Amino acid sequence: MSSRELAPEVVEDELGAHVSVAGGVQNAPGRAADIYSRNLQLFTKQPNRWAEPELADETVAAFTRERSERHLRVAGSHDSYLINLASPRPDLWERSLASFTAELSRCEALGLDFLVTHPGNATDGDTESGIARNAEGVTRALEAVEGSTRVLLEITAGSGTSIGGSMEGLRDILEQIPEDQRHRVGVCFDTCHAYSAGYDLVEDYDGVWQEFEDLLGLDRLGLFHLNDSQHPFGSRKDRHEHIGAGSLGEGPFRQIMNDPRFTSIPKVLETPKGDDMVTLDRENLARLRGYRE
């Protein structure tokens, strides 16, 4: 078997994980194969720095080649943690817009399917204005960068002045994005974040998804982040745990894995990596696959 052929353990399903890009983004597809996956999420830059690297043509070509040879089905990015498109500070908002636009440009260059973004924080306490600023930022980036990468607004744990900790907030952002760009925007549902924000996937699974359908529409669901939580329900704290080892337990993950509405929705892990990320990702993915009935 050549180094680029799929290992026999690689599974053709919708599961994957956030993988390292150490040494360059072109190494990410091989790391997805290492954890027996054909789907991945990555960073196109260091997420805690403002520096915006330009991808060399050879890097883009190498990633494209590796993605093809590893038979990746879905690949996407998570944007920088520094970006705050809800900020009331003009300087930070402009810097965030420039960074988000650059991120979207890199995603398009790499042919990525999605770009996950945290809606941000209205640090002045004016949620309505923060939502409007976020919608404007996403819109301006989409207008500046044409293409097919779908921007996914991630539900957050709802701490502090976050505008992304409710389905109503996500809906309001979406509604303020012009119709000619709205088809390029969807939602990323993080199980840890949603549970911490007050959406009770343990005791009211059906109710949570009915609310999602009513407020957002299931057609807007573009991605799952499957993470258990180290904190209890409604804690407003964002701390991920291994699947089945946190406060959500096995139940919600078993339901998601067997819910026919979600069979084709990509699902990626952001669970703790520890000192052996390959082994831990394999274990968490195997656990999820084992929940299928």
pLDDT digits (tens, 9 = 90+) for 97-146: 999 999 999 999 999 999 999 999 999 999 999 999 999 999 999 999 99
How far is Cα of residue 223 from the mean position of the Cα atoms in its chain?
6
The model's pLDDT over 166-178, given as tens digits with 9 standing for 90+, comes to 999 999 999 999 9
The model's pLDDT over 7-17, given as tens digits with 9 standing for 90+, comes to 667 898 999 99
Domain membership of residue 8 (yes or no) is: no
pLDDT of residue 7: 62
Confidence class for position 275, pLDDT limits 50, 70, 90: confident
What is the average per-residue pLDDT within 29-33? 97
Indicate the pTM of the whole model: 0.96
Residue 117, beta-bridge partner list: 153
Q: Label the pairing between strands 228-229 and 240-241.
A: antiparallel
Alpha helices, H only, the chain: 28-34, 57-69, 90-110, 127-144, 167-175, 179-182, 191-197, 205-215, 250-258, 277-290
Could you give the number of structural domains in the chain? 1
Domain membership of residue 48 (yes or no) is: yes
Domain that holds residue 101: 15-290
pLDDT of residue 1: 36
pLDDT of residue 9: 79
Domain membership of residue 150 (yes or no) is: yes
Domain membership of residue 101 (yes or no) is: yes
How many C-beta neighbours within 10 Å does residue 90 have? 9
Q: For residue 209, what are its two tokens?
A: 């998804």
Domain membership of residue 99 (yes or no) is: yes
Domain membership of residue 7 (yes or no) is: no
Domain membership of residue 1 (yes or no) is: no
pLDDT of residue 6: 57
The model's pLDDT over 220-237, given as tens digits with 9 standing for 90+, comes to 999 999 999 999 999 999
Q: What's the CATH code of the domain at 89? A: 3.20.20.150
Domain membership of residue 3 (yes or no) is: no
Mean pLDDT of the chain: 96
Identity of the residue numbered 288:
L
